[in-house]
Chain A
Amino acid sequence: MLKTYAQAIGDAMKEEMRNDDNVIVFGEDVAEFGNIFGITRGILEEFGPDRIKNTPISETAIVGSAIGAATVGLRPCIELMYADFALVAFSEIYHSIGKWRFLHGPEYKLPLVIRMAMGSSFGAGAEHSNCVESLFMHAPGLTIVSPSSAYDAKGLLKSAIRSDNPVLFFEHKQLYQTKEEIPEEEYTIPLGVADIKREGTDVTIIAVSLMVKKALEAAEILAEKGISVEVIDPRTLAPFDKDTVFESIRKTHRVVVVEESHKTGGIGAELAAMIQEEMYDELDGPVVRVASLDVPLPYNIEMELHSIPNAEKIVTAVESLF
Chain B
Amino acid sequence: MTYSKDFLVKVYRDLAELRMFEEKLVEAYAQGKVPGHIHSGMGEEAVYAGTLATTKDGDYYKITHRPVGAAVTLGVSYETAFSEAMGKSTGNSGGRGGINHISELSKGMLGFSGSLGCDAAVGPGAALKIKKDKTDNIVYVYYGDGTSSRGPIHEAMNLAAVWKLPVLFICQNNQFGISTHISRGSSVENPGADRAAGYGMPSKIVDGTDALAVYEATKELVDDIRKGNGPAILEAKAYRWRGHFEGDQTPYRDAKITEEWMKKDCVKIMEKYLLDKKVVTEDEIKAINDELNDEMNKAIEFADNSPAITADEIYDNIYA
Contacts and interface: CB of A to CB of B under 8 A. Distances in A.
A222 B91 CA distance: 58
B142 to A, nearest CB: 14
Given A56-B155, A61-B156, A61-B159, A105 B122 contact: no
Contact of A95 (B113, B127, B131, B139): B113
B152 interface: yes
A64 B319 contact: no
B157 to A, nearest CB: 9
A108 interface: yes
B97 A68 contact: no
B66 interface: no
A71 B132 CA distance: 14
Interface string A140-183: 11010000000000000000000011000000000000000000
Contacts of B132: 50, 74
Contact of B159 (A24, A55, A109): A55
Contacts of B126: 68-69, 71-72
Given A72-B60, A107-B104, A141 B125 contact: no
Contact of B92 (A91, A100, A107): A107
Contact of A71 (B111, B113, B124): B111
Contact of A68 (B103, B104, B110, B115): B110
Contact of A104 (B92, B127, B139, B156): B92
A73 B129 contact: yes
A105 B162 contact: no
B320 A164 contact: yes
A95 B118 contact: yes
Nearest to A21: B132
A64 B97 contact: no
B317 interface: yes
Contact of A64 (B60, B93, B104, B156): B156
Contact of B122 (A50, A53, A65): A65
A102 B118 contact: no
Contact of B319 (A50, A56, A65, A141): A141
Interface in B112-157: 113-115, 118-129, 131-132, 139, 151-152, 155-156
A297 to B, nearest CB: 26
Number of contact residues on B: which range applies? 35 or more
Nearest to B121: A64
A257 B125 CA distance: 39
A109 B111 contact: no
B118 A61 contact: no
A131 to B, nearest CB: 24
B94 interface: yes
A103 B96 contact: yes
B320 A165 contact: yes
Nearest to A98: B318
Nearest to A61: B155
B39 interface: no
A91 B139 CA distance: 22
Contact of B158 (A50, A56, A143): A56
Nearest to B139: A68
Nearest to A92: B118
B105 interface: yes
Given A50-B132, A95-B115, A103-B97, A71 B152 contact: no
Contact of A103 (B101, B104, B139): B101
A63 interface: yes
Interface in A47-81: 50, 53, 55-56, 58-74, 76
Interface of B: 60, 62, 91-94, 96-98, 101, 103-106, 110-111, 113-115, 118-129, 131-132, 139, 151-152, 155-156, 158-159, 162-163, 316-320
14 contacts: A61-B121, A61-B155, A65-B124, A65-B125, A69-B125, A72-B110, A74-B128, A102-B317, A103-B97, A104-B101, A107-B104, A107-B105, A108-B103, A108-B111
Interface pairs A-B: 8 shortest CB-CB: A68-B125, A64-B121, A65-B125, A103-B97, A61-B155, A68-B122, A68-B126, A58-B155
